[in-house]
Amino acid sequence: MLLYNFEVTLLRIAEYDSYQTINMKNNQQEVQGRVRESSLDSANEAVDDSIKSSISRYKVKSSDAITERLRELDKEWSIERTLEVNAASLALTGTLLGAFVNRRWFLLPGIVSTFLLQHGLQGWCPPLPVMRAMGIRSRREIDEERYALKAMRGDFKEVTSSSTPTEVLKTVRST
């Protein structure tokens, strides 16, 4: 009986450690973002360098130039959007080719859907490294540059330590 209790205790400790490891990984992914977590360090460094370069370039430019860059960032496609559009296009193409050319083309939508599901669940899929190498950024990375430029432009001067959460949110949403 004593040995059984000891084994149960060890099992509970192992389960708790496993839960903590999973929880720490999820927290790390929330901080970094799933795309960054799943990307090579060299790809992440290239994106970071690009953001820093842009911030440095616009640091000496006028408010109008920063506003123009912010408009460009609004139009930039994130890696998530790029994956979704490419997956939908390939799935539709495979479906049409399967219906009108050869039934084997029905494999393409299945493969593409699997990649999209994998990206949704894990934050990684086979096309991701190629897209990262092309310099396509995550929404979070685009927003990092956006808010750095807005801060340089002075958009958040109204926010103080005594601002209410509603006032802070209103300021962020209005910029």
Task: Write out pLDDT tens, residues 100-152.
Answer: 999 999 999 999 999 999 998 988 899 999 999 999 999 999 999 999 999 99
What CA–CA distance (Å, rounded) separates 130 from 112?
Answer: 15
CB 40 within 8 A of CB 128: no
- Calculate the dihedral angle through the C-alpha atoms of 132, 57, 61, 68, rounding to the nearest 10 degrees: -10
CA 8 remoteness from chain centre: 40
For 40, phi then psi, to 5°, come to: -65, 150
DSSP state of 85: H
The CB density around residue 135, as the number of other CB atoms within 10 Å, is 11
What CA–CA distance (Å, rounded) separates 9 from 71?
Answer: 58
Q: Of 14-23, 35-44, 138-147, 152-161, give the lowest mean pLDDT range.
A: 14-23
| Interval 56-69: pLDDT, tens | 999 999 999 999 99
Structure tokens at 86: 């490419």
Question: pTM higher than 0.85, yes or no?
Answer: no
3 residue type, one letter: L
Higher pLDDT, 142 or 160: 142
Question: 137: helix, coil or strand?
Answer: coil
